[in-house]
Amino acid sequence: MTSSFDQTLAALDALHGQDPRSVEVEGESLPRELWHARRMSAWLASLRDSPDELLQLAVRGQHLKRWQVPREDYPEGRVGYLSWRRDQGRRAGEITAKTMKEAGYSDEQAERVAQMIRKQGLGRDEGTQAVEDCACLVFLENYFADFSKQIEHDHLIRIVQKTWKKMSPAAHELTLELPMTREARALVEEALG
């Protein structure tokens, strides 16, 4: 018999697998969101020795079906970005919680995961902090170099500084070990200097 955890994880990955966008990984084409979710889980394994099931599900569901509501559907600028991100967290939390309840988790367990996905209690809640740390690490590892070419220098420095402030000391250590291009490393060092 499949456990509630295994059933939920498989259902989340099936939803991630619907992403029409793809990424090439070691000669294999994967749905981008499924690849992203796996990177989130990999970073969680680096951050925590024995993460509980709820944290594992929150990390795995953090970007759930994000492609369905593109950033371009919201106004330009910080307010538009924050609204989009808030709405994405709310949607991903709701879908993950529903998926968990269908697999046999309690309402309380499902709501706990939804809270972590919505980033409630960031800086105060250990689970929420872990979800944010994983998201920041995936961004810095996989998206930062390209992102840095699209943003004005001073604005980019502020983004790196804000990202750093949201991360735990353990995530800071892992960030400093990331392989980066010389340009990306210089930007991070300038932001932290």
- Mean pLDDT in residue range 44-59: 96
- Residue-wise pLDDT for 74-129, tens only, equals 999 889 999 999 999 999 999 999 999 999 999 999 999 999 999 999 999 999 99
Alpha helices for 68-125 (secondary structure H):
77-102, 107-117
What pLDDT, on the 0 to 100 scale, is given for residue 12? 98
Facing residues of 22 across strands?
A: 31
Q: Distance between CA atoms of 154 and 147, rounded to whole angstroms?
A: 14
What pLDDT, on the 0 to 100 scale, is given for residue 1? 67
What pLDDT, on the 0 to 100 scale, is given for residue 120? 95
Q: Distance between CA atoms of 34 and 45, rounded to whole angstroms?
A: 17
Q: Which residues contact 163 (CB under 8 A, 6 or more apart)?
A: 136, 139, 140
Cα distances (angstroms) measured from residue 178 to each of 19, 175, 182, 188: 27, 5, 12, 11
DSSP symbol at 66: G
Cα distances (angstroms) measured from residue 2 to each of 38, 97, 98, 100: 20, 18, 18, 13
- Mean pLDDT in residue range 32-36: 96
What pLDDT, on the 0 to 100 scale, is given for residue 187? 85
pTM above 0.85, yes or no: yes
Q: Distance between CA atoms of 70 and 31, rounded to whole angstroms?
A: 16
3-state SS class at 68: helix
